[in-house]
Structure 1
Amino acid sequence: MINETQVQRSSSTGLLRVLPMLLFGAFAIVLLARFFTHGDLYLSYFEDDYFYYLVVAKHIVLHGVSSFDGIRPTNGYQPLWQVINIALYRVFGDHRSLFIALLLLVFLLVAGTYRTLRRTQVLMGESGGYGLAGALLSITFMASITRTGMEVSLTLLLLTLFWLRMTARPLEEQTPVDAMLSGLLASGVMLGRLDAFLVVGLYLLLTVARPMSTRRTALRPVLYFSVGLLPVALYFAMNHSIFGTLLPISGLAKNLKSPLIPSASTLRGLFKARSVNMLLTWPSIALGVLFVLRRKRAVDENLAARRVQLCVLMHPVLFYGVLSFTSDWPIWSWYLYPLVPIAALLGPQALSGWKALRPQVMVTGLTIAVGCVCILTVAGMLRHNLTERQLYLQAEELQEFSQTHPGRYAMGGGSGVPGYVMTSTVVQMEGLMGDRAFLDRIKRKEPLVQALEELQVDYYATMMMGGPQPGPCYRLREPEVAGHQSPVMAGDLCSPVADFINPGGQHLLVFDVHRLTASARNSR
């Protein structure tokens, strides 16, 4: 006869099994619901920076030139994600079907990452207990930062596949062929997002410094692994040959500050009171701290898993540490990607190490609670991102303005959507989609009006919060988001020819550059 305890246990197990299906069902609804909005408003659900990829893809497909403005060649993008967007644009062109295909791809990447994390947990011996809760939290984190079209969806899948491979068999135990294949996978990780070289390099360093056998035995597979990194070397060579830089110009534009003094902008981004931080970032950081405390008590550990877990733990430390020394720009949601695997790969061991959290009723209860919070968090993503909506509405205003004021436009932050929806040329003024010559303008702090004139710009648009300033002039700078330790192009721009105000209170000011240059000459 089945007793009441068995019935309760069976029902709770059934609920645990259905949680992932509910979560992915909610995510599918969130992704598709945007296409039921009026007109082209679905564009406002995508990150403004995603349109940098799409505009470049358009120029490559239609004109064979890697450029955002059609004037200057640029490599301001992560290469593997750009290749995917080129393929999407070639197949679907400027149609809604492109964005549907993109989100289908994102959904598959998120689902693949979940599957990979669960398989890695099995190899680590952590698939039971809190394994499901950690995987759900990690995948909710991934869904949150990838639903807007940014490249980290691809990077995270490739990175978790790399951790799965290294957990199954550490590098020093792999055959030469397997080591080269591991290197190719690592190449995919780095070409998905180049700053991932920090964590790939850390894994190699740990393999050589603390091998599971002898150091001499470890060096041979590391050599074959390096052969698999040939695609990355070819990318650097092509970059240097075509664009004159090894790294993407977008990364160089953000790293112009003096590296001697760390910036607080990274920490402000991590600990700012916003929903993604409170629901996902802070719990992931807390689990990382608990994992460190738990490791002091750990005795019997899987050595391959321990190395992977150490890399997962150190990845955000390295990433945000380097970022604070090289840049004083704010960090955006997709910069949180190093934190995503922590809940899945470190969380189970961090929680199960505490005696009070070991009873099965506690495990089941907390897992169900985490799963419900994750589902509600994903469901909350149905809401519009207010900032992206404002950028889209202002892009529409600017497009309408350009119909009666034709010419070449320039814009700093928020120029991705205008670059896509406008028929006029849009020059990106932050340097993210420029070239080495443009970075040189920023480095020497060229006056903003002079830069606009030399770029043969007709109209300059910029966004700002609040009402008009006292007097007719505005003190403006590009890049506007750069901190005070970075060089900028600045100037006093007076008498805008248009001032569009959106419902959020943000102003879009448009200046006639020819008037500005004439005024500057008269004042000399």
Structure 2
Amino acid sequence: MSVENAALSQTLTGEKTPTKAGRAPIWLWGGVVMAFLARLAIAWSPVKISFALSVPDDAYYYFTIARNIAAGVGVSFDGLAPTNGFHPLWMLVNTLVWRLVGASQTLPVHIALTVGAIFDLVTMAGIWRLASALTRRSYLAGIAVLVYAWNPYNLAASVNGLETSLGAMLFVWSLVVYWRLRLASRVTWQSWLTIGGLWSLLLLARTDYLIIIFPCAIDLVWRQRRDLGQIWAATLGALVWLPWLAWNKVTFGSFSQVSGKAYPYYLQTLWQAEGHTFQQWLVQEARMAYGILANLAVLSGFGKVIILLALVSAALLLAAWASRGRTSTGCQSDWSQLSGLLWPTLGALALLMIHGLIRWMYIPWYFVPMSILTVLWFSAFLSWLDSKRRTWAQALGVVVILLQVGQVATVLQKGGMWPEQASTVDSFMASVSCEKEETIGISDSGYYGYYLPCRVVNLDGVVNNQAFLAIKERRFRRYLDEIGLNKVYLNDIIASVVTLNEGAVPLAPPYSTEH
């Protein structure tokens, strides 16, 4: 066993001889198989059903762009202009799917969702690895995996058609390597190359995960500060990210994606136009902060109990810090391990704060890293409880798993994650008519762009750099004239911003607005 692997396997009790948590118990295999089958059931359900259960409209931006790339149309949603409104690694996966089976309209969608489910299975394996290192108990690691697997929001996120499951998989396995390297007595250049490459792939999966990587990278460099002779290899690994950045800069004049800029600009433009005071801004920030906490409570699957879990986790962390350097007894977590949870947790919280307090947006899949970390903190708490009252730890673990399964039933009773979205789309699809040779413009246009027979231009700018710039530069009407649309359908936010910027909604015959 290498020095690095031995470091990861070191027990949380301060033992110097690595031990194994043991094989995965049979009940864990059964629970994981059933969770995977639940994901496959969604992935292979009719597309209208999966659209209500788990797949947001944004997923169809990926599907449409991937279909166009595979068909040789270019990196474009509408076939008229290029876009960077996506995360490239998941787009690459989708493009391969559409390249293979793109002759069918719905089969690629099912396969893309299935790939997401498989990625989530690999994520569960990574959680098992991390929880085993934290707890040194097979049953505790198994509980952590099942709490994650049966959380209805994690289940839905894994088959949402977005980059979420790919990002979660790379996040978890980069944590595995990060934990191994931070505890190693010496890090080889191959290991630096590995972590640099993994983090680079993680950024290609979701650019904003840079916020999570940053504190982890600082921590890793600090812990290995006496032996940084091979760190140059991490820079080589990071080169994987550079072609994407270069293409963005050359093509669009910016390193960042338009999908991350459009709606924050609209929301803040409307807010500023209303002339709010500083006090009102503070109230708005407080509301957003509360919204982040409330959503974290729900999406983590722990509800209001997450506050208690946070307090207990903080207590465990402080106790581990106070006793650092001593040899402990029992099976409680030590500082070297819990601090490895601390830094990504701070990064994941910063991610939510930046999205919520600065961009004024928080969407369910933003919470997935924090949901994973919450499960790991829960396993650390169970490890402590196991050292005091094993039966209590076992009972609590079973109760939490059952509560997660119960929440799956609750979400299904409500019609899934996006029932209103599915209802709106059904109504619109029944009312709109367009011929193949026509070009229409729609905001929130993912599903329509994929299934309508005519060309659909995205008008909210999420996957249309030109439309976003036209709105921002107050020349939206001219942009509509240039591309020659037959019909225009705008949501209230876009219509309000355009009205504010250009004096009136710039839609007159031959255009119509009905959305």
For Structure 1 versus Structure 2, the TM-score category normalised by the shorter chain is 0.7 to 0.9
Is the Cα–Cα contact under 8 Å of residues 171 and 369 in structure 2 kept in the other structure?
no
Within the candidate set 88, 107, 114, 1:79 is matched to 88
2:155 corresponds to 1:143: yes
Q: What aligned pairs does 1:96-495 form with structure 2 within 5 A after superposition?
A: 96-128=106-138, 130-141=140-151, 142-170=154-182, 173-208=186-221, 210-211=222-223, 215-218=225-228, 220-256=229-265, 257=268, 264=285, 266-267=288-289, 269-272=291-294, 276-277=298-299, 279-280=301-302, 283=305, 286-298=308-320, 299-300=323-324, 302=334, 304-328=336-360, 330-353=361-384, 358-380=388-410, 382=412, 383-384=415-416, 385-399=418-432, 401-403=433-435, 407-413=438-444, 415-435=445-465, 437-446=466-475, 449=477, 451-462=479-490, 476-478=492-494
Task: Report the Cα distance in structure 1 between the residues aligned to 2:495 and 2:304, rounded to whole angstroms.
Answer: 29
In the TM superposition, residue 454 of structure 1 has moved relative to its aligned partner by 4.4
SS at match of 2:129: helix
CA contact (8 A) 1:190 1:232 kept: yes
For residue 510 of structure 2, give the secondary structure of its aligned residue in structure 1: helix
SS for the counterpart of 1:149 is coil
Aligned counterpart, 1:12? none
User: What secondary structure does 1:433 align onto?
Assistant: coil
Deviations 1:295-333 (CA, angstroms, capped at 9, x unpaired): 1122256565334201232122210222234312x3221
Distance 2:313 2:300 in 1: 19
> In structure 2, what is the Cα distance between the partners aligned to 1:275 and 1:123?
26
User: CA 1:30 to 1:186, structure 2 compared with 1: closer, same or farther past 3 Å?
Assistant: closer
Structure 1: runs of 5+ lacking an equivalent:
1-14, 464-475, 495-510, 518-524
**2:510 pairs with one of 506, 510, 514:** 514
Moved more, 371-380 or 330-339: 371-380
The Cα shift of 1:53 comes to: 0.4
Tell me: CA distance 1:248–1:188, structure 2 relative to 1, closer, same or farther (3 Å). Answer: same
Cα 1:273/1:311, change in 2 over 3 Å: closer
Relative to structure 1, is the Cα distance of residues 206 and 81 closer, same or farther in structure 2, using a 3 angstrom cutoff?
same
* TM-score normalised by the chain length of structure 2: 0.78
Q: Is the 8 A contact 1:445 1:489 kept in 2?
A: yes
Report the Cα distance in structure 2 between the residues aligned to 1:284 and 1:221, rounded to whole angstroms: 40
2:181 touches 2:191 (CA, 8 Å); kept in 1?
A: no
Within 2, Cα distance between the matches of 1:80 and 1:59?
16
Counterpart residue number, 1:31: 40
RMSD over aligned Cα atoms: 3.6
Distance 1:136 1:26, change over 3 A: closer
CA-CA distance at 1:419 after TM superposition: 0.6
Q: Which residue of 1 aligns with 2:58?
A: 49
In structure 2, what is the Cα distance between the partners aligned to 1:112 and 1:126? 20
Q: Is the 8 A contact 1:57 1:82 kept in 2?
A: yes
Unaligned runs of 5+ in 2: 1-23, 273-277, 325-332
Please give the alpha-carbon distance, in whole angstroms, between the structure 2 residues aligned to 1:177 and 1:190: 20
Residue type of the partner of 1:164?
A: V
Q: Report the secondary structure of 2:227's partner residue.
A: helix
C-alpha contact 2:487 2:512 (8 A) present in aligned 1: no
Structure 2: distance between partners of 1:222 and 1:315: 22
Aligned mates of 2:397, 2:403 — CA distance in 1: 10
Distance 2:499 2:294 in 1: 25
Q: Deviations over 1:199-249 (max 9, x none)?
A: 2121111233x325xx2423x343321221001122211221233221111
Match of 1:503 in 2: none
Q: Cα 1:391–1:420, aligned 2, differ >3 Å: closer, same or farther? A: farther
Structure 1 runs of 4+ off > 6 angstroms?
A: 258-262
Q: Which residue of 1 aligns with 2:105?
A: 95
Amino acid at match of 1:98: P
| Distance in 1, Cα, partners of 2:100 & 2:306 | 38
**Cα 1:244–1:274, aligned 2, differ >3 Å: closer, same or farther?**
closer
* Matched position secondary structure for 1:426: strand
- Residue 118 of structure 1 aligns with an amino acid whose one-letter code is W
Check whether the contact 1:179–1:224 (CA below 8 A) recurs between aligned residues: yes
Report the alpha carbon displacement of residue 50 of structure 1 after superposing the two structures with TM: 0.3
Between stretches 61-70 and 71-80, larger displacement belongs to 61-70
Query: In 2 relative to 1, CA 324–343 (structure 1 residues): closer, same or farther, beyond 3 Å?
Result: closer
State how far apart, in whole Å, the 2-side matches of 1:231 and 1:281 are: 39
- What CA distance in whole angstroms lies between the structure 2 residues aligned with 1:450 and 1:205? 48
User: What secondary structure is seen at the aligned counterpart in 2 of 1:150?
Assistant: coil
Residues 144 and 233 from structure 1, CA distance in 2 versus in 1: closer, same or farther, beyond 3 angstroms?
same
TM-score of the pair, normalised by structure 1: 0.77
Matched to 1:373, the amino acid is: L
Partner Cα separation in structure 1 for residue 293 and residue 495 of structure 2: 23
Q: Is the 8 A contact 2:84 2:463 kept in 1?
A: yes
Aligned to 2:21: none
CA contact (8 A) 1:23 1:375 kept: no
